[in-house]
Structure 1
Amino acid sequence: MTRLIAVCGATGNQGGSVAKLLLEHQDKYRVRALTRNPDSPAAQKLAELGAEVVKADLSIPEDLQQALRGCWGVFGVTNFYDTKIKDDPSSEERQGKNLVDAAMANGVECFVWSTLPSSHQISGGRLVSRIYEGKHHVDDYIREKRCPAVFLYTGNFYENMIFRSHMRYNRELDRVEFHQPVIKPDTKLAMLYVQRDLSAVTKAVFDNWDSRKEELNHQYLYVANARVTPLDILASVKKVTGKDGIYEVLPSTGVPDRDIMFQLYNEMGMYGSKELPDENILKLGVEMHGIDDFVREMLAPHLGLPVL
């Protein structure tokens, strides 16, 4: 019998990766793709792949009660950069709690929650980013409500080099130019290839839930492959494409909370001395992918560069 999985943010980077991977395994899973805009091209593409596309707004509890009806599992994520949240950052926490309430009311058996640690705790209260805190507070709510869940601590997304236009190829100078706000050239970032690895870890949790529920319930999985500096990324580009590159630090992202988050990375990183990749993810049978994989599969084609 196939299991119905509700995927939040199904037209975005995180949710989209999960939805697409589960849709490759329709013998085991059915996907209910939650989106505020079911008519978008991305939503229609998911429908063509076999997803049930449902209109749902995480800010509206009634939407979620209906959207999660009959679901065995949920992939939950909120987006700080959503205009609704940017204009009212506290609403991210409310959205997450709405999702937990709906999961509990509908008897969801496995809730996978994409989250972040507390920047307040990491920095001793000196560098507090609401991008972190809203998600972190939902973790406490999940435990309080005894919602059966797994927490995914995500790394920085390799895909942001494309989605946020951090990197481009200057044909005139025949070089790759990497422009990123705040992050220093030698700052080590815990990095994640979302399309490859976030989706694989989420599916592995669903696959293993029945046999390993006691072990997995309320466990934190660090979904990042390695700590990589901007200069390491340019070295990978050189290795894969043969092109030299330069790195420039921009003064600001234009979003104060994001600037604070990046300064946190510069000074103390995200996950302390946690060894990456996480041994608990390796135990699930997931082989994580690194910067060379991302450059070869996504970044080089995006830049219009051939692979050596």
Structure 2
Amino acid sequence: MTRLIAVCGATGNQGGSVAKLLLEHSDQYRVRALTRDPQSAPARNLAVLGAEVVKADLTIPSELHDALRECWGVFGVTNFYDSKIKDDPGSEERQGKNLVDAAIANGVKCFVWSTLPSSHKISGGRLVSRIYEGKYHVDDYIREKNVPAVFLYTGNFYENMVLRSHMKYNHVLDRVEFHQPIIKEDTKLAMLYVQKDLSAVTKAVLDNWDARKDELNYRYLYVANARLTPRDILASVKKLAGKDGVYICLPNTGVPDRDIMFQLYNEVGMYGTKELPDENILKLGVQMHNIDDFVREVLAPHLGLPLL
């Protein structure tokens, strides 16, 4: 019997990756794609692929309750680029808790939650970003309510070089230009190829839940392949596409909580000394992808650069 999985943010980067992978395994899973706009082009594309597309706003508990009806599992994520959170960062925590409440009401058996640690704890209280704290507080709420769950600590997304236009090819100067706010060129970031690896880890959790629930319940999985600096990323572009690059550090993001988050990366790093890739992910049979994979498959084509 196939299992119904509700996927939050199904038209976005994280949720979209999960929805598309699960849709490739229709013998195991049915996908209920949650989105605020079922008529958007990405939502219609998911419907064509076989998803049940449902309108659900994380700020409206009644919509979430209906959206999770009969679901065996949930992939949960909140988006701090969302205008409702950008204008009110405290909304992220409320949205996450609304989702947890809906999961409880519907008896969800496996809740996969995309999260972050406490910025207050890892910085000793010096750098507190509500982007981090909102997700972290939902972790506590999940445990408090005894919701069966796995926590995914996500890395910094390779995809942001494309989606946030961080990297461009300057035709006049024949060079790649990497623009990124606040992050220093020698800061090491835990990096994640969302479309390949976040989706694979989520499916592996769902696949293994029945057999390994005791091991997986409330476990934190570090979903990142390696720690890389901006210089390391430009070196991959040079190796694979033959183009020199320059890194340009921008002064701010325009959003104070995101500025704090990036400064946290500079001063504290991401996930301490945790060895990457996470051995617990490898035990699930997931082989993580690296920067060269992303450059070959996504970044070089996006920049219009042929591979050597």
TM-score, normalised to structure 2, is 0.99
Q: Unaligned stretches of 5+ in structure 2? A: none
Q: How far did 1:15 drift?
A: 0.1
2:219 equivalent in structure 1: 219
Moved over 6 A (4+): none
| Distance in 2, Cα, partners of 1:176 & 1:295 | 12
Q: Structure 2 matches for 1:217-256, cutoff 5 A?
A: 217-256=217-256
- Partner-residue secondary structure (3-state), 2:221: strand
Q: Structure 2 matches for 1:1-308, cutoff 5 A?
A: 1-308=1-308
Q: How far did 1:172 drift?
A: 1.2
Letter in 1 for 2:176: V
Q: How far did 1:254 drift?
A: 0.9
Q: How far did 1:90 drift?
A: 1.2
Structure 1 stretch 213-222 or stretch 85-94: which is displaced more?
85-94
User: Which whole-Å deviations, capped at 9, do the CAs of 1:32-88 have from their partners, x for residues lacking one?
Assistant: 000000000000000000000000001111001100000000000001121111222
Q: How far did 1:275 drift?
A: 0.3
| Distance in 2, Cα, partners of 1:137 & 1:192 | 23
| Distance in 2, Cα, partners of 1:205 & 1:307 | 35
Q: How far did 1:270 drift?
A: 1.6
User: Which whole-Å deviations, capped at 9, do the CAs of 1:254-287 have from their partners, x for residues lacking one?
Assistant: 1111111111111110200000000000000000
Letter in 2 for 1:158: Y
The CA RMSD over aligned residues, in Å, is 0.5
| Distance in 1, Cα, partners of 2:81 & 2:163 | 13
Q: Unaligned stretches of 5+ in structure 1? A: none
For the 8 Å contact 2:158–2:193, the answer to whether it is kept is yes
Letter in 2 for 1:215: E
What is the percentage of aligned positions where both structures have the same residue?
84
For the 8 Å contact 2:201–2:223, the answer to whether it is kept is yes
Q: How far did 1:225 drift?
A: 0.3
| Distance in 2, Cα, partners of 1:196 & 1:221 | 16
